[in-house]
Structure 1
């Protein structure tokens, strides 16, 4: 009933705004509705159809992971009353279209049950965002903006979100103080809602113990040629994350980038059993990339290295998402579970894109990684090809269709640890993946 009442509120505000603009009478109601809170109100609708497929044998058995769903989203964004305070909210409904066993790894549908059976796959609905917002100051000078409530945080300090049929959202505070080319971000979150669930979740350790909060801050600089972010954050007495991201354009066609991520384990992380720890001490991930854009063709080359030791002789890796039920900021080209972030691994990535027409862009990405472990030189890689059609016709300007197919070569593993044969050689594994997304967006006003 609460969710239905919120949707009704969206449309009620829409009617009030329309009536206010049409009225020419200088009544107290007219003066009220002339406030930017009503005049700047926006309501948008998003339709997303998303399917994902994976056929792989990484655990020894050949497994099919697939899920397909349709999402309907409604987003309300108010203006600021007295140029100071406002309110935003987002509602989304997800309908299950199809699912296989192991569907939950695709993060599209709600796994309402135990195990990996497809009978547990369900659609869901939720109010993914609902927050109060405030602001001080002018946009062109010193200003401050803040939010309190359920909100999406995209590459904000040390946290981020992922957009599947819905986005991860967090309960807490975020605020940004900005001046000229500089900005300072702060966040404090206590709970989350995952992208494939309507339920409020506790932020947890690897052994599912509650973490009371995540705090973080980020210092940013951005001008026409250079953007730099340094961020620091901590999951309460569990782990600290620091990061440095940089992009520099010395030439209009050339972009140089670098990303450095650092995990520092704290008391509760060190007390985990060895099989729950990704690394036993500090772990690092270093990456650099270079991109050249020539008219309709873009070429990008990236290289990365990981340091993530484990004392017991097992294979360590850099843990991107260091807590359960929260996604931590990580923006390297080589992003695929723990792949390409294993201890001592050198990863190389090539990405090429081509705008075949004003409406269609295609791209190919090749990843290669290698590392030494237990007298084996592991070599892994993948090739992904995708295309996106975004029609320029004004009647379809809010439509986009995306499709991708990929092939991977890796090794068989049990809980991230390689499986060896009787001769001590690692066992190879393969995978085939595919996905498609159909998006359509429009504004009611």
Structure 2
């Protein structure tokens, strides 16, 4: 009987210790759990007549996003989720091109514009090791920011992908990989498959990359493939010469695979390969930031002007960090592009900038010239009461040409027809910590 009592006492002590340990573990889990609310108001406007008579593309919406980030159980496993509700404030015909509001019908009529609600992220997360040598992994619906050749875009919400991703870190080196099969776009509530330009399904995208960072020096290489459609390679370099001067370069290349080559010629952005080469120099001087960039694109295409497409198919967002980030503009076959950017920090909170883009390529012995000048402003108040608030606004005037699939439309005299444009954008983001 005595031995039995000793055994029961030992068992009780063990169970009590385990319960106390679980209680402490759960308390740590709660302490590391966070819930944030982000309010996002976004308006985008474009007036142009490149591919049709003069049209206004206008969309304005308001969104609220709840981001839940759990703590870690056993210091290894957790769960994150985010939910977004967006509503329409205003829209014109062709609102879809602004990527803001959900199209509830067919065509581009403004009556189709509406809001949406969706869980953008729902994933299990895993961590092993520490900052010196460790693994971080996710499985489920999650965002991918510059993972291999994939990235995201922020409008009223961000796009997300279904699948798995991970990062293995060792000191200054990080290895990334992702395997994804579906996406939810930033302006829609529904999961969709990846598609080719002629709407054939792409079963999956696999991508990987390696990054080295040491202070302001960074080197990144990425590789990825949309199954049977496109293969992508990229190289991004940021090299500081001094505390003021920095050199940077980006190289992006796409190679056509079986399903791409089988598409009708009218659906292709290029024939077999497309490359975009970019370099820039940056100067930081007190409150000033100056950047000067040059880029060149090679994207041969039979019967038309080819261009480098940043994305790995429809319903994806491709990684792209060059100053020429402006859709098809400045990334057409044989196009030489120049970019000048100057920003001045007016105060601790307010910055203003001007960016000038210019591009030129040859088509049927004619020099086709395009460009734009954009005024950019950003306000991040330093006051504690306004912590988490960012207001960004820009206004731009551009000149381009009337076209069909990036190919100039010529008049009776064989000259290209010019096409001016006016654009504007305002984004207000306010983030609050609720938990």
TM-score by length of 1: 0.92
Q: Is the 8 A contact 1:288 1:304 kept in 2?
A: yes
Who is 2:319 aligned against? 329
CA displacement at 1:415 relative to structure 2: 2.4
Who is 1:53 aligned against? 45
Greater mean alpha carbon deviation, residues 38-47 or residues 386-395 = 386-395
CA displacement at 1:385 relative to structure 2: 0.2
Hey, what's the Cα distance between the residues in 1 that align with 2:280 and 2:360?
18
1:219 aligns with 2:205: no
Deviating above 4 A after TM superposition, structure 1's stretches of 4 or more consecutive aligned residues are 26-30, 32-35
Who is 2:31 aligned against? 39
Who is 2:6 aligned against? none
Hey, what's the Cα distance between the residues in 1 that align with 2:123 and 2:328?
34
The alpha-carbon distance between structure 1 residues 96 and 60, as it changes in their structure 2 partners (threshold 3 A), is closer
Hey, what's the Cα distance between the residues in 2 that align with 1:311 and 1:96?
42
Correspondent of 1:377 among 362, 367, 371: 367
Trace 1:115-134 onto structure 2 (pairs within 5 A): 115-134=107-126
Correspondent of 2:408 among 418, 433, 439: 418
- Spell out, residue by residue over 1:110-137, the C-alpha distance to the aligned partner (whole angstroms, 9 max, x if none): 0111101001001011000000000111
Correspondent of 2:346 among 334, 348, 356: 356
Size of the aligned set, in residue pairs, is 419
1:165 aligns with 2:162: no
Trace 1:65-214 onto structure 2 (pairs within 5 A): 65-139=57-131, 141-214=132-205
CA displacement at 1:225 relative to structure 2: 3.6
Hey, what's the Cα distance between the residues in 2 that align with 1:336 and 1:217?
25
1:302 aligns with 2:326: no
1:266 aligns with 2:227: no
CA displacement at 1:37 relative to structure 2: 2.3
Who is 2:306 aligned against? 316
Q: Is the 8 A contact 1:265 1:281 kept in 2?
A: yes
**RMSD value, Cα:** 1.4
SS of equivalent to 2:322:
coil
CA displacement at 1:168 relative to structure 2: 0.7
Q: Is the 8 A contact 1:243 1:261 kept in 2?
A: yes
Hey, what's the Cα distance between the residues in 1 that align with 2:22 and 2:414?
80
TM-score by length of 2: 0.94
Who is 1:291 aligned against? 282
Hey, what's the Cα distance between the residues in 1 that align with 2:226 and 2:345?
42
1:63 aligns with 2:55: yes
SS of equivalent to 1:31:
helix
Who is 2:229 aligned against? 238
CA displacement at 1:309 relative to structure 2: 0.4
SS of equivalent to 1:258:
strand
Hey, what's the Cα distance between the residues in 2 that align with 1:49 and 1:239?
35
Hey, what's the Cα distance between the residues in 1 that align with 2:161 and 2:307?
26
